[in-house]
Amino acid sequence: MNLYRIATFEMVTILYLHLENTTYFDYIIIGAGAAGLMLADAMVKDDFFSSKSILLLDKDSKLLNDRTWCFWEKGEGKFDSIVSKKWDHIYFAGQKFTKTYAIAPYSYKMVRGVDFYKTYLGRLKDHPNLTFLQEAVVNVTDNHSSVTVETTSNNYSAAKVFNSIFDYKMATHQKKYPVLQQHFLGWTVKTEKPVFDLDQVTYMDFSIPQKGNTRFMYILPFSKKEALVEYTLFSADLLPKKAYKNALDTYVKNDLQCGAYEITETEQGSIPMTSYDFSEHHTENIRYIGTAGGWAKPSTGYTFMSTAKKVPVLIDYLKTVKPLNKLSFKNRFWFYDLLFLDVLDKNNHQGHQIFESLFNKCEPQLIFKFLDEETNILEDLKFISACPTMPFTKALLNRFF
């Protein structure tokens, strides 16, 4: 009996000390990427959250240029102050035709990760109710009345937590929805010869060997002798690391015929392409955001502007004090994306034909508008009719029957 009382006392003491060492915040945002910083920025600007304490956690200092975000947009936008480059033309190359398009009233814009981090973290420093800490999160638990966040060095609790940590296992545990990857290796190169067109993004160049997948080159020119050249695939599996390098080297040397070149920066990544509903991971008090919340556009992998559109919706929803797992972003475009991924999953070697058909029959303005989910039903039908009929009909029938 005495031993039992001693053990119970020790357990209560440990629990008490654990709670005493737990710092409380109203909101915790895990991850200082695009989603985390946009959400934090929106919260500190809104008077509704002025008396709320907010903790922003990330394992990195966010001082390096670890990625590049691109998006199309009409006219001026909220990110123009940190847009490092924009273009008014795009170039598409299929295996049967090539064309350069003027994209007005759109521009294709680029934001460097390091500029985004510096600007947003700099703004957040002016708000005393927000704390940014460089700590790695190891566990998040919804205790119903609050959420506990454990890092490698501390414990925190909050009423609501927004988590942007993504793992492919979040989506690959199921078979109902295909899970592809947009995986890539990009090199910023300086070339011996002036081979780049300054006002033209190579949006997709499918002239390269497809090797049973959907593969293309993507070029963002910064000067006539400098550009980001990226080898991109839409497929289920990654390639050996050497395969990306070999493909880029061959393209830069042989296709661009640039002479000698120097690699000044490298970026590599994988973005999920799936219509899987991430909502099963949300709880009443935990909401996954960004890629982890399914905010990447399933059919393209573009996440930056998708996030910028979803954050204000989430902010308004927070003011209703409803459970976080009840908010849904699903619409008819979700189903369009699902059919596209069904086709790409079963016919990955024919992916280039889909894009070639679209760019051959549609102007890029309609393509951008459709991908922005801003088209009406008649415009939807025009876009859909530009796609190869048979594979999409089969995908539609398979989903219903």
Quick one: tokens of 381? 């039908």
Instruction: Check whether the bond before 298 is cis (ω within 30° of 0).
Output: no
Q: Which pLDDT band holds residue 19 (cuts at 50, 70, 90)?
A: very low
Residue 11, pLDDT above cutoff 90 = no
pLDDT average, residue stretch 139-156: 96
In degrees, rounded to 5, the angle at the alpha carbon of residue 231 between the alpha carbons of residues 85 and 353 is: 105
Phi, psi of 317 (to 5 degrees): -65, -35
Phi, psi of 49 (to 5 degrees): -105, 10
Helix (H, G, I), strand (E, B) or coil at 120: helix
DSSP state of 31: -
pLDDT digits (tens, 9 = 90+) for 313-358: 999 999 999 999 999 999 999 999 999 999 999 999 999 999 999 9
What H or E segment, with its residue span, contains residue 310? helix 304-318
Q: Which residue has the tokens 């922003």?
A: 56
pTM for this one? 0.91
What H or E segment, with its residue span, contains residue 187? strand 179-191
Q: Which pLDDT band holds residue 15 (cuts at 50, 70, 90)?
A: very low
**Cα distances (Å, whole numbers) of residue 123 to 89, 119, 201, 350:** 33, 6, 31, 46
Q: Which pLDDT band holds residue 382 (cuts at 50, 70, 90)?
A: very high
Quick one: tokens of 391? 């594979």
Quick one: tokens of 209? 């060997």
Region of residue 279 (left: phi > 0; alpha: psi -120 to 50; beta: else): alpha
- The CA distance from 359 to 377, in Å, is 20
Asked whether the CA dihedral 70, 172, 310, 114 is positive or negative, the reply is negative
pLDDT average, residue stretch 130-156: 96
Residue 18, pLDDT above cutoff 70 = no
Residue 24, pLDDT above cutoff 60 = yes
What H or E segment, with its residue span, contains residue 288? strand 286-288
Residue 381, pLDDT above cutoff 90 = yes
Superfamily of domain 2-62+113-173+275-326: FAD/NAD(P)-binding domain (3.50.50.60)
Confidence at residue 363, expressed as pLDDT on a 0 to 100 scale: 97
Quick one: tokens of 18? 């654990």
- Please provide the distance, in angstroms rounded to a whole number, between the alpha carbons at the two ends of the chain: 65
CB atoms within 10 A of CB 64: 10
Confidence at residue 401, expressed as pLDDT on a 0 to 100 scale: 84
pLDDT average, residue stretch 108-113: 97
Mean pLDDT score of the chain: 94
Q: List, in sequence order, the alpha helices (H) in 56-175.
A: 113-124, 169-172
Instruction: Locate the domains of the chain by residue range.
Output: 2-62+113-173+275-326, 179-273, 332-400
Superfamily of domain 179-273: D-Amino Acid Oxidase, subunit A, domain 2 (3.30.9.10)
Long-range contacts of 370-376 (CB under 8 A, 24+ apart): 371/297, 371/299, 371/300, 371/302, 372/72, 372/305, 373/331, 373/333
Are the beta carbons of 132 and 31 closer than 8 angstroms? no
**Cα distances (Å, whole numbers) of residue 207 to 57, 108, 170, 253:** 43, 22, 34, 15
- The CA distance from 91 to 195, in Å, is 14
Q: Which pLDDT band holds residue 207 (cuts at 50, 70, 90)?
A: very high
pLDDT digits (tens, 9 = 90+) for 268-318: 999 999 999 899 999 999 999 999 999 999 999 999 999 999 999 999 999
